[in-house]
Amino acid sequence: MMHLRVASVFLCAMLAIVVACERLPGAPKASIPVVVGSPSWTLATFNTNCRGCHSQGAEGAALPLVNPGYWKIANDDQITKVIALGQGVSMPGYLDENGGPFSADEIDALVKGMRSMWGGEPHDGNPVLPGTISPTLVVGDAVAGALVFESACANCHGANGPAGSVTDPMYLRLISDQGLWSAVVYGRSELGSPPWNSPMPNHPNGLTPTEVADVVSWLATKRTQ
Ligand code: HEC
Ligand code: HEC
């Protein structure tokens, strides 16, 4: 008992000194040491730099990253590259060599930290969507994609649908093909947007990987018109 008391009194004294010191003019700010890659560093880094765009719900302009479905499909090399170099016109690059705030090691640590908090085991491949499409390569048949859109998407995204237009050229200029692919594949369940493999109108088992590629290719043709 005695020991505990002494320890806590000692701690109070130390704290008082720290607090008092902080009030001295010119004294350096007492800061909590944060280890790069630790959960607290990862969270603080995410909250400061990414959360404004990548949070859940209507305020998140981009795909939420606190999203196990995302980490299950996306691969770490690709994620690292996007963070370093950016994607499309709306996602800035974060690598110091390109004027960003982070070194390559810090970006690596951020990706590993986010995966261990939100996504489980890392993987290199793309086990859920094998074959011709991958997050880096979206090549489909735009003519077939028009039919996919009509049957699977138009109920929600058509002229009288409850969801916003995704065929508006102004919207399409702001989002890359990769971003469209991600929007269709991962969905935004918190906003009512279904992921690729869940039931959609006329597609009770969701879409096939080919249908995803086709509809993305069709949307891309709308961008240039
Ligand atoms: C059950 C209704 C529903 C269906 C079916 C659906 N979506 Fe969506 N989708 C939504 C909702 C709701 C959103 C979220 C916000 C919004 O745009 O209204 C959304 C978001 C999106 C976005 C992202 C918009 C952004 O925030 O950048 C894209 C792209 C998209 N959908 C494409 C598609 C495509 C392509 C299909 C067909 C394969 C499809 N959606 C099927 C409801 C649906
Ligand atoms: C200004 C808003 C903004 C900020 C800040 C931002 N992002 Fe993004 N991010 C986006 C948008 C928008 C996209 C989709 C761009 C596209 O494809 O056109 C995106 C795409 C991504 C993707 C790729 C998603 C996919 O398609 O697979 C990753 C990963 C990502 N961002 C991570 C981050 C991380 C980590 C941070 C913080 C270090 C961050 N972003 C900061 C807006 C932002």
Q: What is the pLDDT along the chain (225 residues), one digit of tens a residue?
A: 334 434 443 443 444 444 344 444 555 555 656 899 999 999 999 999 999 999 988 788 899 998 877 887 788 888 899 999 999 899 999 999 989 999 999 999 999 999 999 886 655 554 444 333 444 456 789 999 999 999 999 999 998 899 999 999 999 999 988 889 889 988 888 889 998 989 999 999 999 988 998 999 999 999 976
183 CB near ligand 1 (under 6 Å): yes
Distance 91 CA to ligand 2 centre (A): 5
Distance 206 CA to ligand 2 centre (A): 26
- 10 Å CB burial of residue 92 (0-12, 13-18, 19+) is middle
83 CB near ligand 2 (under 6 Å): yes
Which residues lie closer than 8 Å to 15 by C-beta, 6 or more apart? none
Which ligand 2 atom sits nearest the alpha carbon of residue 79? 29
Residue 139 CA to its chain's centroid (Å): 22
Which residues lie closer than 8 Å to 171 by C-beta, 6 or more apart? 164, 165
Distance 69 CA to ligand 1 centre (A): 16
Which residues lie closer than 8 Å to 63 by C-beta, 6 or more apart? 54, 70, 182, 183, 186, 188
Ligand with an atom nearest the CA of residue 47: 2
Tokens, residue 127:
């086990």
Tokens, residue 66:
């606190």
Atom 20 of ligand 2, nearest CA residue: 91
212 CB near ligand 1 (under 6 Å): no
62 CB near ligand 1 (under 6 Å): no
